[in-house]
């Protein structure tokens, strides 16, 4: 997931770290830790590698030191805000394989878009580009679930106006769920831009509320670590 997935999909050119979402299972945790040992990775920052903390939504951060991956950061999560359990994410993942048979399993674009709806302002242009790329690549053979995805998530005013007019009946059905579609239908660029901005700010506030108790926990963990003699 994260920036590396965005590279595959075309919405980023490089990512400085690797973000993994993991199936929360004892055997899987063992496999993760074995991989981290192979990468000579040490846990950095808080929280510690703690399964209940991961399951509450925390991310555990590692930094590698094995030759070839020195300083590379790996972040691991098992739960993502407003996304379904791992089993469903896995079922609808996107997989790419290279000519050596190496497989890359990624969050599908709609799940990645949801995962990117964070309080971090830098994630929002990426969401916009991910949806635009998905539309550009699939507009020729639209599927009902994709039409719903484009109408629900498109953040480029011009493109949203185009999509709303192209799929007018679906846009009408989704109107109660995404009121700004009315501004797109009316071609009111100013109102649409304002509504898109408000939509992003509301989602950022939702993310901040989700993280608030987790941040309090992180701060308590930092205090505890500072007080622990090394």
Q: Which of 35, 88, 96, 201 binds another protein (CB under 8 A)?
A: 96
Is 132 an interacting residue with respect to another protein (CB under 8 A)?
A: yes
Phi first, then psi: what are they for 106, rounded to 5°?
-125, 155
Closer to another protein by Cβ: residue 77 or 183: 77
Number of residues that bind another protein (CB under 8 A): 43
The SS3 call for residue 17 is strand
Stretch that binds another protein, among 21-29, 152-160, 164-172, 188-196 (CB under 8 A): 152-160
Is 61 an interacting residue with respect to another protein (CB under 8 A)?
A: yes
Rounded to the nearest whole angstrom, what is the least distance from the CB of residue 173 to another protein in the complex? 25
Is 7 an interacting residue with respect to another protein (CB under 8 A)?
A: yes
The SS3 call for residue 52 is helix
* Cis previous bond, 47, omega within 30: yes
> Which two three-digit tokens encode residue 64?
């590698």
Closer to another protein by Cβ: residue 177 or 223: 223
Helix (H) or strand (E) segment spanning residue 103: strand 103-106
Q: How far is CA 158 from CA 108, 122, 184, 187, 189, in A?
A: 24, 21, 8, 9, 8
Strand blocks (E) in 33-93:
42-44, 60-63, 73-77
Query: Which parts of this chain interact with another protein (CB under 8 A)?
Result: 4, 7-10, 13-17, 44-45, 59, 61, 71-73, 96-99, 104, 118-122, 125, 128-129, 132-133, 136, 156, 158-159, 207-208, 211, 214-215, 218, 222
């Amino acid at each position: 997931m994260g920036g590396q997935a965005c590279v595959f999909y075309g919405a980023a050119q490089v990512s400085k770290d690797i973000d993994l979402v993991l199936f929360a299972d004892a055997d899987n945790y063992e496999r993760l830790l074995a991989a981290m040992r192979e990468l000579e990775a040490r846990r950095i920052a808080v929280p510690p590698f703690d399964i209940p903390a991961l399951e509450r939504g925390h991310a555990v951060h590692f930094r590698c030191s094995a030759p070839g991956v020195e300083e590379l950061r790996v972040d691991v999560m098992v739960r993502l805000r407003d996304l379904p359990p791992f089993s469903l994410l896995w079922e609808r993942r996107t997989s790419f394989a290279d000519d050596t048979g190496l497989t890359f399993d990624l969050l599908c674009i709609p799940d990645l878009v949801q995962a990117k709806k964070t309080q971090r302002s830098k994630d929002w242009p990426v969401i916009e580009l991910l949806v635009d790329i998905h539309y550009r690549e699939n507009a020729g053979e639209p599927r009902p679930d994709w039409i719903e995805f484009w109408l629900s998530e498109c953040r480029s005013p011009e493109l949203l106006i185009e999509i709303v007019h192209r799929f007018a009946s679906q846009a009408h059905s989704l109107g109660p769920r995404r009121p700004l579609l009315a501004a797109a239908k009316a071609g009111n660029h100013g109102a649409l831009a304002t509504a898109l901005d408000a939509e992003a700010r509301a989602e950022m506030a939702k993310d901040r509320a989700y993280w608030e108790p987790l941040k309090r926990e992180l701060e308590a963990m930092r205090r505890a670590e500072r007080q622990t003699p090394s």
